[in-house]
Amino acid sequence: MRKARSGLCVDQLDLRRLLSLAGTLLIAALLSQMVVPGAQAAPQLSKSDTQSLEVAFGILEDTFSGEAELKWLLMFKKLTLAGPAKQVEILMKKMQTASSERGAELKKLRKLEPKVTSDPPPSPMGDAIQSAAQEAGTEELIFAQGVFNIRFLFLQAQATRMISVVAAEAAKVDPNAERQEWLKEVATQFQEYRDEIVELAKDCAIK
């Protein structure tokens, strides 16, 4: 058998190298399974939960966008209510600002791990319902003889309620702690807006 300079057989040298390599790989494998104290595993999302959050975040972004446009309606219209019109205007401006800010925040938060940046799967029925609702809302607010009416408050109550419910439900699914806390804050914030709208509506009478 051929000898190496060290006096060992070539086969013995190869065997030692293989054993050394195997030992290294074993140690690496064991280390990869160890949990370092204080370290947290990256949050994970199942495919179904990812799709659920995509739908929820899509609804929130669309609704925030719509509410952020309230400033344009307020510029060109006036409330025709016997009740506290000025208070309603103040609340609408506050909601418009909050919606604009929350929409910008959500765009950034969607990029946190696990990322939820894709659009939800196409839904012809859902798109049709959303389109019909938007058209009805536009007709109600813009072509109602140049004025607001009591239905405007009902529409806003529905929008704020939807934001609150969707955010609260998304918080139950999202494993990202920062996003989860943000969703809970949004749910509470827009529920409070809805409560204010309901109280104002009670004091309003149609002229």
Q: Can you read off the two tokens belonging to residue 44? A: 């994970």
Is residue 153 within a helix (H) or strand (E), and if so which, with residue range? helix 150-173
- 31 Cβ contact partners less than 8 Å away, ≥ 6 residues apart: none
**What pLDDT does residue 160 have?**
92
Which neighbouring-strand residues pair with 206? 81
**Residues 59/129, Cβ–Cβ less than 8 Å:** no
Which neighbouring-strand residues pair with 81? 206
pLDDT 10s digits, 11-52 = 555 555 555 555 555 545 544 454 445 545 667 889 889 988
Identify the band that residue 193 occupies on the pLDDT scale cut at 50, 70 and 90: very high
**What pLDDT does residue 203 have?**
76
Predicted model pTM: 0.70
Q: How far apart are CA 176 and CA 114, in angstroms?
A: 7
Q: How far apart are CA 137 and CA 83, in angstroms?
A: 22
Note the maximum CA span of the chain.
Answer: 110
Alpha-carbon separation of residue 61 from 27, 89, 101, 110, 118 (angstroms): 47, 23, 11, 11, 13
Mean pLDDT, the chain, rounded, equals 74
**What pLDDT does residue 63 have?**
87
pLDDT 10s digits, 118-164 = 887 665 544 554 555 455 454 454 444 445 567 778 888 888 999 99
Q: How far apart are CA 118 and CA 55, in angstroms?
A: 10
